[in-house]
Amino acid sequence: MTVTVRPIRREDAEAIVGMLKEFGAFLISLGDPWDSKFTEERYLEDGFGPEPAFGGFIAEEAGQPLGYILHTPSYDTDVGCRVLFIIDLWVRPWTRRLGVGRKLMDAAAELGRQRHCGYLLWAVFKPNTLARRFYDGIGGKETTDLDWMTLKL
């Protein structure tokens, strides 16, 4: 299998949103009350509008999408460094254990280095042990002294 990874483009909207729906179905199977509002229109407006809110990479073989990763910039005042926040990482089930996820994370890490980031940051749905094993395998470390919080606007 020859996997290529490239930056996402406008014309990837259908493929990315389609894979996001696969990701959501997987999360629902784990008990996540997933209800994404991310549409092709949101992808185009928020990713490619005048102030892009995210970027990403898509993995392909012979033009067929195998997985994607979306990211957004952040900052850590405690460490005094830029951070690349990983929003989503999804690899289609039939391509797992073939290095697709690692290639996507490597692309994000290289982008982070180019942007002078100190680290990548991401969250894992606790019941997603498959993702946890992957992240442990690439050297990801759990942040045990912080809890994620949200405030609806």
What is the reported pTM? 0.95
**pLDDT for res 64:** 96
Helix (H, G, I), strand (E, B) or coil at 53: coil
Compute CA distances 67 → 61, 123, 147, whole Å.
10, 18, 28
For residue 147, pLDDT over 80 is answered with yes
Distance CA 52, CA 100 (A): 25
pLDDT tens for residues 46-65? Answer: 999 999 999 999 999 999 99
pLDDT tens for residues 21-54? Answer: 999 999 999 999 999 999 999 999 999 999 999 9
- Domains of the chain, each with CATH number or no CATH: 4-137 (3.40.630.30)
CA atoms within 13 A on the CB side of 70: 20
Q: Looking at residues 114-141, what average pLDDT do you find? A: 96
pLDDT tens for residues 70-125? Answer: 999 999 999 999 999 999 999 999 998 899 999 999 999 999 999 999 999 999 99
Q: In Å, how far from its chain's centre is CA 90?
A: 7
Q: Looking at residues 118-147, what average pLDDT do you find? A: 94
Strand-pairing partners, residue 57, are 7, 69
Tokens of 121: 């940051």
The answer to whether 119 and 81 are in contact (CB under 8 A) is: yes
**pLDDT for res 145:** 86
